[in-house]
Amino acid sequence: MRLHIHEAAKKLGTTPRAIRFYEEKGLLAPVKSPENGYRLYDEADLTRLRWIVALRDLGLPVAAIKEVLDEDPDDVRLLARLDEARQEIYREWINLSQALKSLDAVLSAGYVRRKLAIDDVAEAAGRIRDAAMLRDAWRDRMGYDRLAADYREQAVTEALRPYVDERAYEWTHAAIAQWLDPAADERGVDLGAGTGRLTARLSALGAQMTAVEQSAEMLSVLRELQPEVEAKLGNLLALPFQEPTFDFAVCSFALHSLDARQQLLAVEEIDRVLLKGGRLCLAGAAAINPGSPGVPPDIDVRPDRGCALFPIEADAIERQLISLGYNVIQPTAAKGIWLLFAVKRGG
Amino acid sequence: MRLHIHEAAKKLGTTPRAIRFYEEKGLLAPVKSPENGYRLYDEADLTRLRWIVALRDLGLPVAAIKEVLDEDPDDVRLLARLDEARQEIYREWINLSQALKSLDAVLSAGYVRRKLAIDDVAEAAGRIRDAAMLRDAWRDRMGYDRLAADYREQAVTEALRPYVDERAYEWTHAAIAQWLDPAADERGVDLGAGTGRLTARLSALGAQMTAVEQSAEMLSVLRELQPEVEAKLGNLLALPFQEPTFDFAVCSFALHSLDARQQLLAVEEIDRVLLKGGRLCLAGAAAINPGSPGVPPDIDVRPDRGCALFPIEADAIERQLISLGYNVIQPTAAKGIWLLFAVKRGG
DNA sequence: TTGCTCCTCACGTCACGTGAGGTGGC
DNA sequence: TTGCTCCTCACGTCACGTGAGGTGGC
């Protein structure tokens, strides 16, 4: 039984024009009746259409859906495509959320004072625009050199080698695990988890871990090694969570891939997903200074090439955390490692 | 000192093309140099441009900004315009939030089972699409007969008169206040507050009240009568809050303006902004049944005319609340009043 | 002939981005 | 002459909505 376009549209809760548009974009190709040229939709077409309509409703752009549909629907790669699309949607959602938050603040203040001052409004708007531009720029860079993702991850690790050897890694992870001392079933997130070495350690201590990692390759390794960990594609400037979710967060040597402003935005993002009373651990290499004589010449530290290696903005991060209402505990640094522990007040 | 377009753009963090676009839309009109036709921006132009850029960053559409700029910037009506724009942005934001939530759920389930089933995805997508369509339809109706807002509000009150007299109102409000028994500084919200009779009562008991009302006229009355109450333009299908915010919520005789599906969506929205452990009071007239002989012939109950009067879907609402994790307490009904008290578990 | 369903252009939406082709003064 | 800044069209983006004008079979 084959349906005409209006019947198909009605059945799927969409419109004939939308269906023709999907066809125009190459997402489906129904047969046409030889007698009158009408489009005829069979079972396979309708299933395809159901996918298209559902994924559109979930916010995927048509181009992304086309890629998704080209995969075998039973393949895990379909999930990876959706994961990528989710990143984009989160980026937009966070930008919109921040804009609304600022608009709320502007309006509340405005009603109290019975008028609006352009300086206040422009200042509030400027801050969120800067944040949005940082997020969007990050996205563009991601898209541009997605193919180099593995190389870049390797590059960061490689670049860190002179500063962070195996013993320093081990010492850092041990210090984090000791301070966090996760209780059973506490929820924790490892931001920039890589293949999940620290994630695994905290998971083994009983925490219910989530890993966020921007490299799909790394993430699939992590998924195989640690099926009990929830793994999400995402980056530090747009974390894929809507609400405060975690009892603790760790970010170990991942801030080096962000420049100064991005690091502060990342701290804001971490704060957004951390519960009140939550604990935070940041770790980095203390001695890195790109362009300084210490940096090996074969390491490319130019951000436009995507393998940047930035120093930790320790002071700015600490000030930021204090202004966000954290108690900051600066533990003893050792072995060239910068560590920061903090507790979010309230709760 | 007058700036050229590139200088102005750089100073304001925008682009020449954007500025020309705003001019094309009639938002500003700089003088042009008589010698070479270059646009010249003076102080007044730059201030106007600052407003435009800031409000764009906050998410206002250009058409709305045009209206805002036509108001005296010191006038309170400017705030009212922004309030209207905020409603639209909240509607979009909520739709996007729900879509992301569904996408997260779909992906989580997908990774657990290692594959996606179209039936599951389509079901999740269908639910949020229906909700989004209800919200958008509500918006359209609001826009269509905004001018009739006062009449309509009056109409609902008028229509209720045969069922809810002064004593019944008083009894209902007393019952709600008694059950809520707000502690000092507890945060409460009155949804569909009208001119704020119940809001005032709860505020007088020490609660820190917020009023949500869709009629700007009503709201300005409320603001004058009760400056201590935070008053927000908004409707029951898209509440203007981003997070769980309130220790209790009341919705008194406002559900009658919503049809069956809208009432359930409103309950979802209320749940979204209520803290764990929060209390909820819903009130309505028990006996209303549009089209029944009891409804006076001069009351228009057709929803397409914007002055609908719908019966409370008591059973469906109760089931919905239970499925959302509420303990429902059905108090003794009296005087033809339907009352529902509920407590959100957790917290 | 009217009414119905389908068809194919093709323009409109929203807020610009991105050239293309041209001008005026150093 | 080159380089710079500005100008005015005008098309592209994204996912369709909305006619306009026409067809085929009852």
pLDDT tens, residue by residue, A49-83? 999 999 999 999 999 999 999 887 667 788 989 99
What pLDDT was estimated at residue B299?
42
Distance A143 CA to D15 C1' (A): 22
Mean pLDDT in residue range B60-80 = 87
Identify the band that residue B162 occupies on the pLDDT scale cut at 50, 70 and 90. confident
The CA angle B16-A264-A99, to the nearest 5 degrees, is: 50
Is B54's CB within 8 Å of A125's CB?
Answer: yes
Among residues A286, A275, A269, the alpha carbon closest in space to that of A343 is found at: A275
Q: Label residue A335 exposed, middle or buried (CB < 10 Å: 0-12, 13-18, 19+).
A: middle
Across chain B, mean pLDDT equals: 88
Please determine, for residue B71, whether its predicted confidence score (pLDDT) is greater than 90: no
What pLDDT was estimated at residue B303?
42
Across chain A, mean pLDDT equals: 88
What pLDDT was estimated at residue A154?
59
What pLDDT was estimated at residue B288?
62
For residue range B88-98, what is the model confidence (pLDDT) as tens digits?
999 999 999 99
Query: A2: how many CB neighbours lie within 10 A of its CB?
Result: 16
Asked if A39 and A32 count as a contact pair (C-beta separation under 8 A), the reply is yes
Is A242's CB within 8 Å of B107's CB?
Answer: no
Which 3 state secondary structure label does DSSP give B115?
A: coil
What pLDDT was estimated at residue B289?
52
Q: Note the strand C nucleotides within 7 A of protein beta carbons.
A: 5-8, 10, 14-18, 24-25
The CA angle B28-B29-B32, to the nearest 5 degrees, is: 145
Please determine, for residue B305, whether its predicted confidence score (pLDDT) is greater than 50: no
Strand C CB-contacts below 7 Å = A 4-7, 16-17, 20, 32, 37-39; B 15, 17-18, 21-22, 35-36, 56, 61-63
Q: B91 vs B142, which has greater pLDDT?
A: B91
Rounded Cα distance, A196 and A110, in Å: 47
B272 touches chain A (CB under 8 A): no
Q: Which long-range contacts (CB under 8 A, 24 or more apart) does B140-146 make?
A: B141/B306, B142/B214, B142/B235, B144/B306, B145/B306
Range of weakest confidence among A295-299, B113-117, B262-266:
A295-299
Q: B157 vs A248, which has greater pLDDT?
A: A248
Mean pLDDT in residue range A150-174 = 75
What pLDDT was estimated at residue A153?
56
For residue range B268-302, what is the model confidence (pLDDT) as tens digits?
999 999 999 999 999 998 866 544 444 444 444 44
What pLDDT was estimated at residue A302?
44
Identify the band that residue B143 occupies on the pLDDT scale cut at 50, 70 and 90. low
Question: How close, in Å, is residue A32 to chain B by CA atoms?
Answer: 26
Phi/psi region, residue B309 (left: phi>0; alpha: psi -120 to 50; beta: rest), is: beta
